[in-house]
Structure 1
Amino acid sequence: MKRDDWERNEEERRVCKALEKVAAEIGAKSITAVAIAYIMQKAPYVFPLIGGRKVENLKDNIEVLTRQQIEYIESVKSFDVGFPVTMVGNGSEISVWMGSVAVIDKQPPAPPLRPVAEARLVGKN
């Protein structure tokens, strides 16, 4: 079945352009590497599964972004943590759904894990 809605909308085009700009700044081979780096540095407990057949494929997808680059990406589109956090909350504020059925203590949100720029891949050769 042919679908006419496969093309990117205007917001998705702006995000792609922002990722392309940051990829050019850091010398990344693809915008996918920038997107993976953004997610890993933005959300705690996010560990994307990166496929590849060679160690080089893995190294191509490991990038480190500066705070300015993250802010630039977010100036195009703000970060959306998505489901289920939008429904149950992240602990820093009580969602309507959870507050109506439970007593919840507020907790500060966990910060994302920040990579070390000098980190090296360790593996068996």
Structure 2
Amino acid sequence: DTPAWVVAKANEWARSNGKTPFSIYQGRWSILDRAFEREIIPMAREEGLALAPWGVLGQGRIRTDEEEERRKKRGETGDTRGFQWIRTPDQVKLSHKLEEIAKEVGAKHITAVALAYVLHKTPYVYPIMGVSNVEQLEANLKALDISLTPEHIKAMESVLPFEPGFPHDIIVSR
């Protein structure tokens, strides 16, 4: 959870002073929040860092409408530790796309598809996962069996377009 430039400078200092540089970076990343892809992933590739993203399932906001109704009937409000549990219209739209892709790849849970997304984006990804029950753990493990195509990735990313921000937007447009 540190800016990319700080990690790069710390690693530079470590290497020039005979110390061990960082070998893994931990930060928030999911198909719902792709800011991590702007600076962190390129820095990690350059520095040879593995990634340990947290929030990969969007703090419980990646769920089907059916799951939403089940939770409402049980009176659940989620355990979000400061994050809004209620889904925005864009998050609902993305969940629908994940549900569509889950059917295509034979996945039972859309959370497995969301987890497979980060595992397919770049190498050396070791997500930090929290689960409330065995069923959630088993659903998450199914992500390891999912093969997403570039078309699946593109379809997911098109729902919530990623803004690379300055100066990346200028570099990409050239």
Higher normalized strand content (fraction of residues): 2
TM superposition score normalised by structure 1 = 0.50
Match of 2:106 among 12, 21, 27: 27
- Offset, 1:60: 1.9
Secondary structure in structure 1 of the residue aligned to 2:125: coil
Structure 2: give runs of 5+ residues left out of the alignment: 1-76, 78-83, 169-174
Higher normalized helix content (fraction of residues): 2
1:78-109 alpha-carbon deviations (Å, 9 max, x no partner): 3589xxxx9xxxxxx7xxxxxxxxxxxxxxxx
- The alignment's C-alpha RMSD in Å is 3.4
Match of 1:67 among 150, 157, 163: 150
1:16-66 alpha-carbon deviations (Å, 9 max, x no partner): 001000000001010011001101111444211456869x92652321100
How many residue pairs are counted as aligned between the two chains? Answer: 80
Aligned pairs for 1:49-64 within 5 A: 49=128, 57=138, 59-62=141-144, 63-64=146-147
Structure 1: give runs of 5+ residues left out of the alignment: 87-92, 94-125
Match of 1:40 among 119, 132, 150: 119
TM superposition score normalised by structure 2 = 0.37
